[in-house]
Amino acid sequence: MTSDIGKFHTITLQAGVVRVGGNNFLPVEGIGSIILNTALPNGTTSNLRLDNVLYVPSLHHNLFSWIVVKSKAVLLAKDNIMHIFRNNDLVHPILVIDIRDKLP
């Protein structure tokens, strides 16, 4: 979730609400994809696309949920290669990405 509409690569405006800490609800005004420029351990950078990011204008800080990521997939990275597995199947990756390159 972010309140910075400028971070979105794509966005679809839609109304809704999201529950945050303290059982509070904040209005959602859109959902889309953002591109993060991430720093790698070797000093280089790589783009990472996050989909289904909520646009919540009243949010004071960006929020990232590992619970949501873990519910969708398992990510393992070694030697600049990221393996993405569907849930508990750690034998057959659904995607293998060279994280030195830009994501689609």
pLDDT tens for each residue of the chain, 104 residues long: 999 999 999 999 999 999 988 999 999 999 999 887 766 666 777 677 788 899 999 999 888 776 776 666 666 666 667 666 666 666 666 556 666 654 44
User: How is residue 93 written in tokens?
Assistant: 């990756």
pLDDT the model gives residue 4: 93
Taking the complete model, does pTM exceed 0.85, yes or no? no
What is the rounded distance in angstroms from the CA atom of residue 102 to the CA atom of residue 104?
Answer: 6
Output the pLDDT for position 92.
64
Q: Tell me whether strands 74-78 and 45-55 are parallel, antiparallel or unpaired.
A: unpaired
